[in-house]
Amino acid sequence: MSSKINGNVSPQQCPHLLDFRSRNGSKPFRALQDCIRVKPPGGRAAIRREPSEVPGCGTCEESSRPRLYACVACAAVLCHSPPLHSHASTHALSNPGHEIAVDVDRAELFCCVCRDQVYDRDFDSAIVLAQSINAIATATTSTSGATAMQCNVAGSQPENLRKRRRVDYRPWAPDSREHVIIGNHSILLHDATNASLISSTELPRGLRGLNNLGNTCFMSSVLQALLHTPPLRNYFLSDRHNRYYCQQKNGAFNGTKNSILCLACDMDAMFSAVFSGDRTPYSPAKFLYSWWQHAANLASYEQQDAHEFFISVLDGIHEKVEKDKTKSRSPGSGECCIAHRVFSGILRSDVMCMACGFTSTTYDPCVDISLDLEPNQGGSGKSSSAKSHSSCNVEADCKGSNQNCGISTLKGCLERFTRAEKLGSDQKFFCQKCRVRQESLKQMSIRKLPLVSCFHIKRFEHSSIRKMSRKVDRYLQFPFSLDMAPYLSSSILRNRFGNRIFPFDGDEQDASNELSSEFELFAVVTHTGRLDAGHYVTYLRLSNQWYKCDDAWITRVNDSIVRAAQGYMMFYVQKMLYYKASEKQAAS
Amino acid sequence: MKHSVNRPPTPDGAEDQGKEPTLQEIINIKLIESGEKERLMELLRERLIECGWKDEMKALCRAYIKKKGRNNVTMDDLVHLITPKGRASIPDSIKTELLQRISSFLTSAAL
């Protein structure tokens, strides 16, 4: 039973619960507070009158019943396993006012007359708080780790959470009239008619080397990944940003020195060139020049950081996009420009005051997730920047509790990313309820997944304290398929607390996130060598084959080479978009 | 708990003298008191998730709720629905593992 309150779906309270609340004052569950026991290993909450109580049914004296309920009104513990034994129901029916009970092993409210689970915010808050406090106390020793948050959404909802209606996929084929139109306006690729005769040794369409223009492997590696990012590729190849039309609109087509810069136009030009069928290496000089103009501080022939370049390019595409006033300019909604439509997701950050339990929740867009490989020696802790366009930095241990514990994995890093972290005494957070700075617990989770997830491994450490930089060469294992479901806000919070009330946006958002939480790896940017003298290479996965893109040289390689490579940036695309056609290389 | 609650009348001691606790009861209490039951439950939860049993049960519940309508289903309905199927579909390996754990516990507890 549910109803919408301010856009949040909360379970409707059964009449017996409402009745109970009205008769028992402002804190109807106060008596239960002392009976909440949270025990490792699972950190689950149970209800026990005494710590060592072995609950059993007061009527049939059996403790081995699967479901035991304690009446909230009189503390009687009774069994409930219909249709054979339900002394709890008997109790409820014969004692008015005693309908509400609590499952002693799950700490969940139940109405013995409606025979259904019921939810109460105050009750759930108390449970969640008890679990969190317990988790903090055992944080250093327990491996089951983190915590939970009572979620009172302090701010308003992010603007893009109006539900996007899912439209079912309908396959399309051109009719005869459309065929003619297509024929008249396309330039057939050289080998289009011989699609079935393409030998397995030929490279797939769109693979073209990029010439190094002077330490520009940082650029060619990222460009290769972008050129083969499915949604981005489709956008440009289907002429959604026409470079001729755009420049004309901006009035820059007179060839003056002050032609307006548009990185998207240069990208469009590059896509056309790379997918033209010409196999000779392409020189992205125009793109480099435009990018220099956009990122003046990085304009030099020195080696740059590939990740920095990536962020800068997305930023450049965003800034110079046609300013369409009807569209939202917020990156979070993904409607401002193609760069954000493809890469922008939303992270949720919950900060809970350890003293009173009040939680402040914020949502921030991000275009990628930066992960640490080993504990931060500088000790500066987590800092999640709230600016839009920026990647979110996160501290992550290697999997396991000590440093030499085995192979680091991407999943391990993500688990660390979404684990709750205690903000130390030097980072006290201002609690709105306590009106004072308090020690807090912070937990990140993913509110909305982007179409393409980019994971950036922080291998380059710049320590201003020690005035040195170093590179972390440690190997990171990354999967070819990745399910992001465990890192979603809904999963993180629900798995910690079971069936509690949380201000989610209803089940629909959940369901759509769950459908599309599977991702496939399609590009890996790797770095070899030292910090000051190194080389970037990109591996691309096309038609389920891997290709090594080393500046102008493209070669096919085995899976194992890719798995063994030192991943610096990994690009995953939502599986739903991982077109079947790309597995079969069929002309269509 | 509050002391001034409306407690039901304490069960008459005399009535229950004749009732012997069953072996199942005794074992259950021993398991709980030693904390072993909690550990076994965690192990079981882990195993059932790993082998996909939990997802299967979840799917069954979802299908049922979709059919009946979200507002027409109670928790008891769902428990009634999945209990027989759930019990029947537990993999033998899990049963064996747990039985083995319980068995060694009983040996060590010298029952």
Output the DSSP codes for A317-328: HHHTS---TTS-
Does residue A51 have a cis peptide bond before it, meaning omega lies within 30 degrees of 0?
no
- Nearest-angstrom CA–CA distance, A452 and A457: 16
pLDDT tens across A366-409, in order? Answer: 999 999 886 533 323 333 333 333 333 333 333 333 333 468 89
Give the pLDDT mean for A148-174.
Answer: 49
pLDDT tens across A513-564, in order? Answer: 556 789 999 999 999 988 878 899 999 999 889 999 999 999 999 999 999 9
Nearest to B85 by CA among B66, B105, B107, B61: B61
According to the model, what pLDDT value does residue A299 have?
73
Structure tokens at A225: 């990944």
Count the alpha carbons within 13 Å of A8 in the hemisphere toward its beta carbon: 13
Asked whether A46 and A37 are in contact (CB, 8 A), the reply is yes
pLDDT tens across A471-527, in order? Answer: 888 899 999 999 999 899 888 877 666 666 654 444 334 445 556 789 999 999 999
Structure tokens at A344: 């922008």
pLDDT tens across A217-244, in order? Answer: 999 999 999 999 999 999 999 988 888 8
**Distance between B70 CA and the closest CA of chain A, angstroms:** 7
pTM of the model: 0.65
A5-9, A42-46, A326-330, A455-459: segment of lowest average pLDDT: A5-9
A323-351: b or e for each residue (b if 16 or more CB lie within 10 Å)?
eeeeeeebbbbbbbbbbbbbbbbbbbbbb
Angle formed at CA A423 by CA A419 and CA A429, multiple of 5 degrees: 125
Most confident of A35-39, A115-119, A144-148: A115-119
Structure tokens at A290: 């435009």
- Amino acid code (one letter) for B43: L
- Asked if B58 is an interface residue toward chain A (Cβ–Cβ < 8 A), one would say no
Q: Spell out which residues of chain A touch residue B1, defining contact as CB-CB under 8 Å.
A: 31-32, 34-35, 49, 75
Is the domain covering A208-252+259-323+332-346+451-499+512-587 a CATH 3.40.50.300 domain? no
- Nearest-angstrom CA–CA distance, A536 and A551: 9
Asked whether A228 and A582 are in contact (CB, 8 A), the reply is no
Give the pLDDT mean for A337-349.
Answer: 91
A–B interface: beta-carbon pairs under 8 A: 63
Give the pLDDT mean for A306-326.
Answer: 79
Residue A332: pLDDT over 80: no
- Amino acid code (one letter) for A174: P
Architecture of domain A15-136: 2-Layer Sandwich (3.30)
Q: How many residues does chain A have?
A: 588
List of E strands, A543-588: 545-550, 553-557, 567-574
Which residue from B minimizes the CA distance to A499? B75
Asked whether A131 and A43 are in contact (CB, 8 A), the reply is yes
According to the model, what pLDDT value does residue A260 have?
66
Q: What is the mean pLDDT of chain B?
A: 83
Band the pLDDT of A192: cuts 50, 70, 90: very low
Q: Which of the following is catalytic: A71, A79, A217, A431?
A: A217
Band the pLDDT of B81: cuts 50, 70, 90: very high
From residue A371, alpha-carbon distances to A309, A413, B71 in Å are: 17, 6, 43
Asked whether B28 and B53 are in contact (CB, 8 A), the reply is no
According to the model, what pLDDT value does residue A47 have?
87
- Asked if A486 is an interface residue toward chain B (Cβ–Cβ < 8 A), one would say no
Q: What is the mean pLDDT of chain A?
A: 76
Q: Is A104 left (phi over 0), alpha (psi -120 to 50) or beta?
A: alpha
Asked whether A26 and A128 are in contact (CB, 8 A), the reply is no
Nearest to A439 by CA among A422, A454, A453: A422
Domains for chain B: give ranges and CATH numbers.
34-105 (1.10.246.140)
Residue A453: pLDDT over 50: yes
**Percent residues over pLDDT 90 in chain A:** 29
Helix (H, G, I), strand (E, B) or coil at B58: helix
* Neighbour-count burial of A26, counting CB atoms closer than 10 A to its CB (0-12 exposed, 13-18 middle, 19+ buried): exposed
Give the pLDDT mean for A49-66.
Answer: 84
Structure tokens at A16: 């017996």
Nearest to A367 by CA among A352, A396, A387: A387
According to the model, what pLDDT value does residue A408 have?
86
According to the model, what pLDDT value does residue A436 have?
86
Q: Which of A2, A50, A63 to mutate to test the interface with B (most CBs of B within 10 A)?
A: A63
List of E strands, A459-533: 460-463, 468-471, 476-477, 481-483, 518-529
- Asked if A3 is an interface residue toward chain B (Cβ–Cβ < 8 A), one would say no
Cα of first residue to Cα of last residue in chain A, in angstroms, is 48
Angle formed at CA A455 by CA A454 and CA A460, multiple of 5 degrees: 125
H or E stretch at A534 = strand A534-542
Give the pLDDT mean for A359-366.
Answer: 88
Asked whether A118 and A124 are in contact (CB, 8 A), the reply is no
- Nearest-angstrom CA–CA distance, A392 and A347: 9
Asked whether A355 and A431 are in contact (CB, 8 A), the reply is yes
**Distance between A105 CA and the closest CA of chain B, angstroms:** 10
Asked whether A484 and A396 are in contact (CB, 8 A), the reply is no
According to the model, what pLDDT value does residue B50 have?
86
Most confident of A350-364, A468-482, B8-22: A468-482
A95 DSSP 8-state letter: S
Is A112 assigned a catalytic role?
Answer: no
Of the partner residues A49, A58, A64, the one whose CB lies closest to the CB of residue B25:
A64
The structural domains of chain A, with segments of one domain joined by +, span: 15-136, 208-252+259-323+332-346+451-499+512-587
Q: Which of B75, B82, B102 to mutate to test the interface with A (most CBs of A within 10 A)?
A: B75
Residue A255: pLDDT over 60: no
According to the model, what pLDDT value does residue A566 have?
93
**Percent residues over pLDDT 70 in chain A:** 72
Residue A160: pLDDT over 50: no
**Distance between A579 CA and the closest CA of chain B, angstroms:** 27
Residue A576: pLDDT over 80: no
Q: Which of B1, B37, B39, B46 to mutate to test the interface with A (most CBs of A within 10 A)?
A: B1
Band the pLDDT of A124: cuts 50, 70, 90: confident
Residue carrying the six token digits 């990222």: A222
- Nearest-angstrom CA–CA distance, A329 and A155: 20
Does residue A82 have a cis peptide bond before it, meaning omega lies within 30 degrees of 0?
no
Asked whether A104 and A77 are in contact (CB, 8 A), the reply is yes
Cα of first residue to Cα of last residue in chain B, in angstroms, is 34
From residue A91, alpha-carbon distances to A19, A85, A147, B75 in Å are: 17, 12, 36, 19
Give the pLDDT mean for A197-205.
Answer: 61
A3-7, A10-14, A104-108, A351-355: segment of lowest average pLDDT: A3-7
Own/partner pairs, A321-328, CB within 8 angstroms, 24+ separation: A321/A264, A322/A246, A322/A249, A328/A159, A328/A160
Output the DSSP codes for A286-340: HHHHHHHHHTGGG-SSS---HHHHHHHHHHHHHHTS---TTS---GGGT-S-HHH
A73-87, A135-149, A558-572: segment of lowest average pLDDT: A135-149
- Asked if B9 is an interface residue toward chain A (Cβ–Cβ < 8 A), one would say no
- Asked if B75 is an interface residue toward chain A (Cβ–Cβ < 8 A), one would say yes
According to the model, what pLDDT value does residue A262 have?
84
Partner-chain contact A2 B2, CB within 8 Å: no
Residue A42: pLDDT over 70: no
According to the model, what pLDDT value does residue A137 have?
67
Residue A286: pLDDT over 60: yes
- Nearest-angstrom CA–CA distance, A517 and A424: 33
**Percent residues over pLDDT 90 in chain B:** 48
Structure tokens at A378: 């500088």
According to the model, what pLDDT value does residue A358 have?
78
Give the pLDDT mean for B19-38.
Answer: 86
* Neighbour-count burial of A276, counting CB atoms closer than 10 A to its CB (0-12 exposed, 13-18 middle, 19+ buried): middle
Helix (H, G, I), strand (E, B) or coil at A376: coil
Which residue from B minimizes the CA distance to A81? B76
Q: Spell out which residues of chain A touch residue B75, defining contact as CB-CB under 8 Å.
A: 110, 115-117
Is A456 assigned a catalytic role?
Answer: no
Report yes or no for ipTM above 0.95. Answer: no
- Nearest-angstrom CA–CA distance, B78 and A67: 14
Structure tokens at A183: 């024929």
